Amino acid sequence: MDFLWSPEQEQIRQAIERVCAPFDADYWLERDREGGFPHAFHQALAEAGWLGIAMPEAFGGAGLGIGEAALMMHTIAATGAGLSGASAVHMNIFGLHPVVVFGSQEQKQRWLPPLIAGKDQACFGVTEPDAGLNTLKLKTRAVRDGGHYVVHGQKVWISTAQVANKILLLARTKAVEESSGTEGLSLFYTDLDRSTVEVREIDKLGRKCVDSNQVFIDGLRIPVEDRVGEEDKGFSYILHGLNPERILIAAEAVGLGRAALARATQYAKERVVFERPIGMNQGIQHPLAQAWMGLEAAHLMVQKAAFLYDKGLPCAAEANAAKFLAAEACAKACETAIFTHGGMGYAKEYHVERYMRESWIPRLAPVSPQMILNFIAEKVLGLPRSY
């Protein structure tokens, strides 16, 4: 067992910090106030070659594992870019994993290099208003018409759809009644053709600069060449990407929590009340110490899950646990950071209220804490399925 970063991993951390350095707290505060996708940040990471960190070398990526990708995303969030920074590139890092595993050589050659270069931006179209977490009940319908599929339906919460030119779309190719098990849904990676797709931004709690949207699809024509793998098998392809995605968002949550803890600790050292720094009070120290422990423990689970994934071993329990623990530890650290700042914790210029708003994202998405508890209870503890 080895808990230390390798020299290569340490280099990754330092290199990411260098790319992130010009995008300081004021940059993210302005993005949070004004909105507007952080194109400059996305481009800086693309130009330095980081968007392909986990993509195959044959297509211009670095061919590294989820461990390194998680380190990258953790570092981005921990610099204070938080979820605003991480979400701006999140989809590039592992979102196209189903394409890497199940796409043809021709598709990978067509799709991966522009994504790695930052020329293409992809969004991930799964969630629907009526299906919620019950993905097998998706209604968006893709009907074959010669060399095309014609799609009608609705998606919700689709992040970056304002700026993306591509969508990884899960749609029904067989009616629910005719589908057995996980079959009946197909996966497409295609142009987000705005003449048939309307994208309406959702006004939301945080991460204003990375949009999330309602998406109305009315007659989108998808060439058959843009279907990933076999028809009706899309759900099983998506499943392959779920564990890495949970690991990445967990790493981002730990990074965000550490950014909040760093600001709170600094403030506790500097702020003097009753003629001494507030950090001399155990009432301030102990919650900070506890937040540190929570984040450290969660990070160990992130690293374990990433290690198992990169070794090709089962990691669903660990990936889910990492996502749950990291999100909760992050939320606790952000809340503690606000308390530490007192009234100033509520002021935007101290940044921690922004972190707290962003900490809700890894708690709620891409899967809820309740569903993770259901999963662990059923699949790890062997208890009866509760739903």
Ligand X SMILES: Cc1cc2nc3c(=O)[nH]c(=O)nc-3n(C[C@H](O)[C@H](O)[C@H](O)COP(=O)(O)OP(=O)(O)OC[C@H]3O[C@@H](n4cnc5c(N)ncnc54)[C@H](O)[C@@H]3O)c2cc1C
Interface residues with ligand X (CB under 6 A) are: 123-127, 132-133, 157-159, 212, 361, 364-368, 370-371, 374, 387
Taking the complex as a whole, the smallest distance from the CB of residue 160 to ligand X amounts, in Å, to 7
Closest CA to 162 of 11, 37, 305, 300: 37
Closest CA to 127 of 113, 114, 140: 140
CB-based contact 111:124 (threshold 8 Å): no
Could you identify the residue written with the tokens 């949070």?
A: 32
Q: List, as one string, the DSSP characters of 258-312.
A: HHHHHHHHHHHHH-EETTEEGGGSHHHHHHHHHHHHHHHHHHHHHHHHHHHHHTT
Taking the complex as a whole, the smallest distance from the CB of residue 312 to ligand X amounts, in Å, to 26
Query: Whole-angstrom Cα distance, residue 156 to residue 199?
Result: 10
Q: Which helix (H) or strand (E) holds 328?
A: helix 316-341
Taking the least distance from each CB to ligand X, the nearer of 208 and 341 is 208
**Using CB atoms, what's the residue nearest to ligand X?**
132
Taking the complex as a whole, the smallest distance from the CB of residue 366 to ligand X amounts, in Å, to 4
Taking the complex as a whole, the smallest distance from the CB of residue 331 to ligand X amounts, in Å, to 14
Taking the least distance from each CB to ligand X, the nearer of 257 and 366 is 366
Taking the complex as a whole, the smallest distance from the CB of residue 162 to ligand X amounts, in Å, to 12
| CA distances to 84, 161, 206, 256, 281 from 212, in Å | 12, 7, 11, 20, 41
CB-based contact 323:221 (threshold 8 Å): no
| CA distances to 257, 298, 355, 356 from 261, in Å | 6, 14, 10, 11
CA angle 363–342–34, rounded 5-degree value: 60
Query: Whole-angstrom Cα distance, residue 93 to residue 96?
Result: 8
Taking the least distance from each CB to ligand X, the nearer of 279 and 366 is 366
Taking the least distance from each CB to ligand X, the nearer of 107 and 359 is 359
Q: Which helix (H) or strand (E) holds 319?
A: helix 316-341
Taking the least distance from each CB to ligand X, the nearer of 162 and 374 is 374
Taking the complex as a whole, the smallest distance from the CB of residue 141 to ligand X amounts, in Å, to 17
Taking the least distance from each CB to ligand X, the nearer of 207 and 351 is 207
Taking the complex as a whole, the smallest distance from the CB of residue 368 to ligand X amounts, in Å, to 3
Taking the complex as a whole, the smallest distance from the CB of residue 54 to ligand X amounts, in Å, to 18
Taking the complex as a whole, the smallest distance from the CB of residue 140 to ligand X amounts, in Å, to 11
Taking the least distance from each CB to ligand X, the nearer of 91 and 268 is 91
The residues, any chain, with a CB within 8 Å of residue 238's CB and separated by 6 or more, are 98, 126, 135, 170, 187
Taking the least distance from each CB to ligand X, the nearer of 121 and 127 is 127
CB-based contact 253:326 (threshold 8 Å): yes
Map residue 201 onto helix, strand or coil.
strand
CB-based contact 251:74 (threshold 8 Å): yes
Taking the least distance from each CB to ligand X, the nearer of 130 and 296 is 130
Taking the complex as a whole, the smallest distance from the CB of residue 90 to ligand X amounts, in Å, to 9
Return the exposure string of 319-336: e unless at least 16 CB atoms fall within 10 Å of the residue's CB, then b. bbbbbbbbbbbbbbbbbb
